[in-house]
């Protein structure tokens, strides 16, 4: 019997993901960097799903992407290359969609040639570049669905839902991270595989290492410290955090991450600290200051279908976790305190603080010890290799 791994030999991946330079690291980045250990990967920073706003940040980002698109691909490290394909946002103007399709295809083919990737697998982590599926001469098309994209705030939900459906049907194999989406995806494409998120156990485990220093800006904060790391977007319940901070004025609420929404009301509270975006590798130093970590999501469609990375990252630090509910989070109910309303959230925090950060720490770390990104990607690659081995004639391998 042919070894399925032989099917991957001589191939590379053209990988359509989130902005490589985004403030936070997502599963898109974790998976791509590990794929590149096995084969050449061209990471394509795809245009955002929402239309750019007239803000200085969005304008700078659009200019950076346009400039980057005119340059050849750059090597990030080892076998991992990067390029950008900007898309004109004015889609309602006649001809813009046609130009985006032509320019996107041309830019990716040029980058693939420069990166030396001749035989390839097309790998989509976001749905809107899916118009390129089947148009890049790929041997296999993978859709790695990590979210309910049409439920994201600020996007054209009808358009994104259509892109998502078309790519799901076009893909040779679909991996789905949120458990709530598996049934729907399987109905749309029988070659669907549940693939939950992983975690960098070694990195976040450093929060429990006595040798790891607390982040300088978090030193000396009044304890207990209630911590959060991750982007602060529309799906974060700022009103809940404000209410909690007002109920416990002696506690410190430390929020680490880029704020994409107005946080003025939180910033005005004396016991709230907004640390802003921080390098991913330093997150364990911030987590070391936490007495408890929170997942304060709004209960909307996006959150109901989410598979939050930070859940596993928090657990890998060993810190107590208090969270709202969703299907994926409830799988960890034995090591996470779940809340159904404001009062329940506060009561859960009181219980976590009362027990102390070390109570149950070993159990929390053990709950994710075998869920590393390395294992997740190894399993995904085995599925991909098996699919290729089953469909590609031996003479073509």
Share of the chain above pLDDT 90, in %: 68
The pLDDT, as a whole number, for residue 54 is: 43
Q: Per-residue pLDDT tens for 342-373?
A: 999 999 999 999 999 999 999 999 999 999 99
Looking at domain 4-198+372-396, its CATH architecture is 3-Layer(aba) Sandwich (3.40)
Output the pLDDT for position 55: 46
pLDDT at residue 30 above 90?
yes
Q: What is the pLDDT of residue 390?
A: 83
Please give the pLDDT value at position 240: 98
Higher-pLDDT residue of 75, 106: 75
pLDDT over 70 (residue 394) = no
CATH class for the region spanning 201-368: alpha beta
pLDDT at 68 over 70: no
Strand intervals (E) in 9-112: 11-17, 41-45, 74-77, 80-84
pLDDT of residue 89: 55
* Residue with the larger pLDDT of the pair 2 and 98: 98
* pLDDT for the residue 313: 97
Residue 137 confidence (pLDDT) above 60? yes
What pLDDT, on the 0 to 100 scale, is given for residue 86?
67
Alpha-carbon span 203 to 317, nearest angstrom = 9
Domains of the chain, by residue range, sit at 4-198+372-396, 201-368
Comparing 56-65, 137-146, 153-162, 231-240, the range with the smallest average pLDDT is 56-65
Same fold, 4-198+372-396 and 201-368: yes
Q: Give Cβ neighbours of residue 313 (< 8 Å, ≥ 6 apart).
A: 199, 200, 204, 229, 283
Would you say 304 and 180 are in contact if contact means Cβ atoms under 8 Å apart?
yes
CA–CA dist 130, 123 (Å, integer): 9
293-332: per-residue pLDDT in tens? 999 999 888 888 888 899 999 999 999 999 999 888 999 9
Handedness of CA 180, 181, 184, 187 (dihedral sign): negative
- The answer, yes or no, to whether residue 216 has pLDDT greater than 90, is yes
Q: pLDDT exceeding 70 applies to what percent of the chain?
A: 88
């Amino acid at each position: 019997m042919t070894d399925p791994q032989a099917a991957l030999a001589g191939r590379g991946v053209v990988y359509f993901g989130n902005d490589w330079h985004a403030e936070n690291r997502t599963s898109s980045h974790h998976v791509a960097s590990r794929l590149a250990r096995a084969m050449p990967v061209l990471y394509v920073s795809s245009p955002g799903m929402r239309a750019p706003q007239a803000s200085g940040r969005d304008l700078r980002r659009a200019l950076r992407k346009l400039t980057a698109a005119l340059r050849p691909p750059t090597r990030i490290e080892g076998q991992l290359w990067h390029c950008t394909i900007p898309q004109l946002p004015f889609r309602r103007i006649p001809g813009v969609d046609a130009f985006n399709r032509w320019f996107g295809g041309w830019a990716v083919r040029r980058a693939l040639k420069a990166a030396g990737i001749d035989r390839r697998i097309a790998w989509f982590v976001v749905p809107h570049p899916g118009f390129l599926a089947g148009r890049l001469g790929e041997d296999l098309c993978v859709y790695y669905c990590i979210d309910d994209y049409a439920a994201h705030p600020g996007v054209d939900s009808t358009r994104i839902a259509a892109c998502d459906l078309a790519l799901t049907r076009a893909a040779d194999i679909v991996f789905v991270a949120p458990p709530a989406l598996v049934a729907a995806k399987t109905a749309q494409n029988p070659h669907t595989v549940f693939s939950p998120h992983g975690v960098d156990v070694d990195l976040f485990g450093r929060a429990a290492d006595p040798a790891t220093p607390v982040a300088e800006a978090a030193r000396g904060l009044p304890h207990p410290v209630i911590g959060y790391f991750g982007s602060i977007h529309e799906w974060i319940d700022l009103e809940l955090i404000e209410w909690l901070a007002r109920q416990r004025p002696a506690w410190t609420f430390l929020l680490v991450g880029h704020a994409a929404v107005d946080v003025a009301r939180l910033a005005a509270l004396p016991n709230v600290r907004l640390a802003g975006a921080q390098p991913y590798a330093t997150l364990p130093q911030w987590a070391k200051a936490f007495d408890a970590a929170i997942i304060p999501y709004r209960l909307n469609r996006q959150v109901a279908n989410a598979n939050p990375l930070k859940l596993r990252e928090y657990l890998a630090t060993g810190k107590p976790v208090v969270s709202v509910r969703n299907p994926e989070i409830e799988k960890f109910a034995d090591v996470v305190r779940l809340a159904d309303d404001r009062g329940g959230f506060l009561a859960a925090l009181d219980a976590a603080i009362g027990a102390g950060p070390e109570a149950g720490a070993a159990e929390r770390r053990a709950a994710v010890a075998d869920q590393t990104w390395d294992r997740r990607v190894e399993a995904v690659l085995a599925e991909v290799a098996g699919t290729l081995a089953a469909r590609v004639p031996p003479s073509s391998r």
